[in-house]
């Protein structure tokens, strides 16, 4: 795997969304490439720092319900039928 390929799928690697073979290929590349390793480590460190400093807000169930309905309505034309329902997607947002 080359640097440009790693950079293209770095977000998926960071979010742990790659298949096992691609995850292994990225890990092998990161082992031998200090540039890509530094880039990904920087992002992971930043995510970790943000998560450690931001406390999840307590939202009322009705707020979550209204927000989900609004997002579904706004994104309806952009969601592919094979994608999981919006309510099933787990976003790493600082809300509980
Ligand atoms: Zn590289």
Q: Report how far ligand 1's centroid is from the alpha carbon of 11 (Å).
A: 14
Q: Does residue 42 fall inside a structural domain? A: yes
pLDDT for res 31 = 96
The span from the CA of 71 to the CA of 68, in Å, is 5
Domain residues for 39?
A: 3-53
Q: Does residue 93 fall inside a structural domain? A: no
Q: Which residues of the chain have pLDDT under 70?
A: 79-96
Within 8 A by CB and 6+ apart from 4, the residues are none
pLDDT for res 39 = 96
Confirm if 33 and 4 have CB atoms less than 8 A apart: no
DSSP state at residue 93: -
Residues near ion ligand 1 (CB < 5 Å) are 3, 33, 36
Q: Does residue 65 fall inside a structural domain? A: no
DSSP state at residue 95: B
The span from the CA of 59 to the CA of 65, in Å, is 10
pLDDT for res 51 = 85
The span from the CA of 70 to the CA of 14, in Å, is 28
Q: Report how far ligand 1's centroid is from the alpha carbon of 34 (Å).
A: 7
């Amino acid at each position: 795997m080359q640097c440009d390929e790693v950079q293209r799928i770095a977000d998926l690697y960071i979010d742990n969304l790659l298949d096992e073979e691609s995850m292994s290929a990225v890990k092998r590349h990161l082992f031998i490439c200090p540039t890509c390793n530094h880039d990904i480590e920087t992002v992971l460190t930043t995510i970790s720092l943000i998560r450690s400093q931001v406390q999840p807000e307590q939202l009322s169930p009705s707020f979550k319900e209204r927000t989900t309905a609004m997002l579904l309505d706004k994104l309806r034309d952009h969601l592919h039928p094979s994608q999981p329902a919006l309510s099933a997607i787990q976003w790493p947002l600082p809300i509980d």
